[in-house]
Structure 1
């Protein structure tokens, strides 16, 4: 890459994703602090898409400047470990789960590299963190079979829900609905966030779909729950077979995304295999039209087009596969720029330019 390309921001946000989706290529690679033995376990962009935060089992929080295309800060978390690092709406604050000592959540100020607040209450590992799109509220899922509702300004939980295996959760784009995925009951429950202490207003039963499409992993191996930004779809990612696309309003199966060639090699929340942690290997693009995801044990990134869903088509093959490098165990699309970040043992930045070559840092 030239110096100009390295300093330029990702592709302009005014370009339609559909115009450039076929042209993404990895253009930069960043290694972890222990490239031979450690894995990246989570990725997250800030609201403006200017920064990426990564966590890994090397117990380091790494921040990258997207416009500059370089790492800007490295914060060790050797005492507590780190997983599910998430930007709050304050771009210099990162919330993360712990992997050692206790199961508290911790709010880190990146400017002075000190902790602002601890959030204690879970008695087992946290499996998912979801921040409200419209406020400082957030929810955490845990292996202790609870969902906790928090506010960033208070160390005490605002409330708790006791459910069976509630390992994944997501806010809808309006921040008024939360979806909670319960693996062991093969169901997704929808709550009015303002009245979360009341019973769910809707429950989606996935047992029939699992029996048909993923019978060997029924009730387990769910890895990702996400609403599309247009509010139409709900993505339920799985570890191995593919991903469910549900109607976000009534829970009916719109299609099942196929084309993976095995597992991304990461632990689903209930895994006891000792695999590295992860946060799922699929996500929506900001326009809601595409899902991008890993191809299992291959280096390609699969792209599924939601416009290709038809009433008679119960499954959907990728419209294309993007040539990558190494396995894609985690993937996120920048919310503002046409740029993708993926990771396994290293982090890749992808831009829609067919003529660029990957450079290492």
Structure 2
């Protein structure tokens, strides 16, 4: 039976990328050595690093005055590294869920944090809008896609202060204007690579604002000045990331990925809205393209376990909602084929017929 992978992360990757990675594990670039045991100081891996950086610049139209680095530790490490480097007096944060709250907690260790807006009053089911942004902030921090609750920013913020964005779960899924951000970072295990590498895109002028005496590995300059190789980088995930970027380029780039993501999301949200057994859980204007959250409709809550088992019998994997919100979550990252969404919709329709 074909499996349809809706896991929230680590998530589905393109099949051809997985196949190329498997070959490289056995023999990297005709070297006779496994990718898992090559030196990161070789010319062959230098080429991989350069390719990953070059494709990032190309696909996201990143200006030349931005540095791209690859780090370990996941986005959770960036929650403290961002304020360690850039919070000198006061920073503003928008609280849109668990990951925002974790980032806020870490930032408070380094300076004053002002929560400018929050959607906690409605269990993070919408994106706050129209809030004031003080001009005396060192930066404004946002989380662009909220995997647990299924909300997403659909437009870049206009801000009088530098914007730093955690784009772990929607990077490369939609067009963005990188020039509106001072820094973009994220764990790669949603749309780019297996777990183990974190990307950071940093505008060069921000590096001049680092005044705190930092541990060497925490200082972003350490990594920008050493092409992400001050210490051994996560070689295998970076290789897969480069392969994923190649796949995205060959597909037609971010514009084509966005078209496909809108198509997939529209297909599933339309079924959720049509099917009397289900209902969506987030404000319609803020619905995520990446993480589509839904529950059984009022009066049908008792069918939740039965639907989960039925979906599993049809090859659906990873549909269970996060433990904080329950219900169901279909993560529709870039590599998820439309056919998988069609299969889920057909599964929901068949379940509906069984329970009329």
TM-score (norm 2): 0.25
Structure number having the greater strand percentage: 1
Structure number having the greater helix percentage: 2
Bigger RCO of structures 1 and 2 (CA < 8 A, at least 6 apart): 2
